Amino acid sequence: MGNINSSVRRKISTVKKRQQTGSGSNKAVSALLIVDVQYDFIDGSLALKNCPSQHQGEHVIPIINRILDDIHFDVVVYTQDWHTHDHISFFENLPLRAHLLAKDSKSIDELKLFDTAVFVFGDDTVDKKLRVEQILWPTHCVQHSHGAELHKDLSIVKTNRSREVFHLLKGYDSDIDSYSAFWDNQKIRETSLNSKLKESNVTHVFIVGIATDVCVYSTALHAVENGYKTYIVEDACRGVDIGNINLRLDELIKRNCIVIQSGDVKTRLEDI
């Protein structure tokens, strides 16, 4: 009888611990992912205003700040592109990897800014070579540069009793780009984001930032794949190309990502 009571006590203790940590509960836990609100995308070397969309990247800042002021999220994540000087995505670095261009890629003399180059990594000693398709961007968001910093007008909230905040750097492998906050572009190396969200029992992810058709899109795609109920706050994002923005959003909607406006966020959170 004493053994039975001990077993019951252990089970009760386990249930209480799960209730305290949220493990095993159906409670919705929300995260706001703030993607790449950095100087270089706003008024620097890769400013959206100079891209086909001619978007003003700074317009996302007051909307994101208002969301942070008015709405409680259990987790807030700030991401930053964080490239090395010799990064594969920089058009200026193309000569460094000219010998790696695939036979079916444009040649180094043909490739221009914003073209897609195709590189092949690996020699005859490996079983499978890595084929990398890479858009050639202007040099941007170089580690420790002003352009890589989060914009000064963006609200940076802190961890407190009811909210966890962390910062995520991505794209620091010189040979592989990383649009998504979850994976590099070849899906070889996973970032710490998914594990951190799982540790906090996050169920619902809201995504804002830059650029809608590049890093926001890739992050949302992987959020859906990882099982999160995923929302893109459309008016809190800006992108590179209007046509691509519409295509990417349509693709995400087909994958059960929900596209909303900032005025809808509070209601969505109240309903989950």
Query: What's at 55, amino acid-wise?
Result: H
Q: What angle do CA 268, 223, 245 make, to 5 degrees?
A: 80
Using CA atoms, how far apart are residues 13 and 100, in angstroms rounded to an integer? Answer: 59
Residue 36 is a catalytic residue: yes
Residue 229 is a catalytic residue: no
For residue 196, the Cα-to-chain-centroid distance in whole angstroms is: 14
Among 36, 40, 177, 213, which one carries the catalytic annotation?
36
Is there a contact between 150 and 138 (Cβ–Cβ < 8 Å)?
no
Is there a contact between 33 and 74 (Cβ–Cβ < 8 Å)?
no
Among 215, 229, 237, 241, which one carries the catalytic annotation?
215
Dihedral sign for Cα atoms in the order 250, 220, 234, 200: positive
Is there a contact between 176 and 100 (Cβ–Cβ < 8 Å)?
no
Query: What's at 108, amino acid-wise?
Result: I
For residue 269, the Cα-to-chain-centroid distance in whole angstroms is: 21
Among 51, 170, 184, 241, which one carries the catalytic annotation?
170
Phi-psi label, residue 114: left if phi above 0, alpha if psi -120 to 50, beta otherwise: left
Helical pair 217-225 and 242-254, crossing angle rounded to 10 deg: 10
Residue 196 is a catalytic residue: no
Active site residues: 36, 170, 215
